[in-house]
Amino acid sequence: MIELRKDQLVFRFPEVHRDAVLRIEFQRTLRIPDDGKNYPLPPGLGRFPVRHVDDFAGRVPPRWVDHGGVMLPMYQSEALWVNFSASYPFAVKVATGKIDAVTGKELRPDLARRPQNYLVTPSQPWLDGYCIEKGVIRQFVAMPLGAGYSAEEQITGEAEWGGLQLTVYPMTAEAYERWRSREARYLTASGMVAGMPMARAALGMDMGLAPGGRMRQEIFADPHHLEDWDQDHTARCFVHLANSLVWRHVTGHEPPTVPPTAKEYAQAGLPWFEYYGAGETAVAGSGILAKLKSVVQMGKEKGDVPVPENETVTPGPIVELRKGLAKDEVREGRF
């Protein structure tokens, strides 16, 4: 079951285990400069508002109704990151335009290890973009679908899907009990405590996600066995990205204000973040995603300036985060 509560997607699997609950939210954030430098993690600036697509079926494209799921507003060239919150382990696939954000391959229904096509929570607390090399991602940046910037269009040549697709697989109850026992012994030996510090205009309706600036972020390798994941109990959700300029027309509500620029944030001396896992191994980046052109690179080829205010900045104080332990139902639809 998937529910939408307070702008969070809540995935529940009571048939697997009573603890099998995952919360996913979409955080507004700074768009880091797309200048070839590797930046630390930008902050979260609050959740995007999220609404049921079915509540506005007469005002959104028919294919959105077919896909089901939810929608949120984004300005052109705005950035986001995806936040995961769970104490129960899950394997999570994140795709944009049905292109896997970890491997760069087309979204597929099963889990794979070579290469790994999913994230593992709770060790992976968030995802900010496309995994282009080990320890480096390119930030998720919203661009109009059909303009040629999105990862989907660069890889497939088509502007068919847009948006963001999530697929969630819980750990089996048996594997969970073994994992919980190991974690309890580890925490007792290390003295660690539970709790993760919280860091952190186009004319068309549809928005896609495109690769932006480079950021230091590891995608951790799965430390579990593939058979530990319950692939018979899955849930998936299509997250539609609505142009903020038409959000008010569709929902009757104002979209969030435009977030500050990276330059404005840096000048204010506010913190950035670095996250360190506890001995986890990072996966290698995707050769497919590494070949994608960033929004700025693509804009230069088109003679366009798709992202204003792209000046290089010097990040202010950097806060180090270290791993600890960490009518609402949403219709899945077809995609």
Print the SS3 string covering 180-217: HHHHHHHHHHHCCCECCCCCCCCCCCEEEEEEEEEEEC
Q: Residues 225, 120: contact at Cβ < 8 Å? A: no
**158 in a domain, yes or no?**
yes
Average pLDDT, whole number, for the chain? 90
Residue 325 confidence (pLDDT) above 50 = no
Q: Give the predicted TM-score (pTM) of the model.
A: 0.90
% of the chain surpassing 70 pLDDT? 91
**Higher model confidence: residue 203 or residue 292?**
292
pLDDT tens per residue, range 170-209: 999 999 999 988 765 544 544 433 333 333 433 467 899 9
- Of the chain, the end-to-end C-alpha distance in Å amounts to 17
**332 in a domain, yes or no?**
no
**334 in a domain, yes or no?**
no
Band (322; pLDDT cuts 50, 70, 90): low
**33 in a domain, yes or no?**
yes
Mean pLDDT in residue range 25-52? 95
**Higher model confidence: residue 79 or residue 188?**
79
Total structural domains within the chain: 1
| pLDDT at 320 (0 to 100) | 87
**256 in a domain, yes or no?**
yes
Domain assignment of residue 213, given as a range: 2-322
Mean pLDDT in residue range 89-115? 97
**330 in a domain, yes or no?**
no
Handedness of CA 7, 241, 309, 298 (dihedral sign): positive
Q: What are the helix and strand counts (H, E) for the chain?
A: 7, 19
**333 in a domain, yes or no?**
no
pLDDT tens per residue, range 114-163: 999 999 999 999 999 999 999 999 999 999 999 999 999 999 999 999 99
**286 in a domain, yes or no?**
yes
Closest CA to 142 of 310, 307, 263: 307
pLDDT tens per residue, range 217-228: 999 999 999 999
| pLDDT at 185 (0 to 100) | 53
Handedness of CA 126, 202, 72, 287 (dihedral sign): negative
Round to whole Å and give the CA distance between 53 and 62: 10
Band (247; pLDDT cuts 50, 70, 90): very high
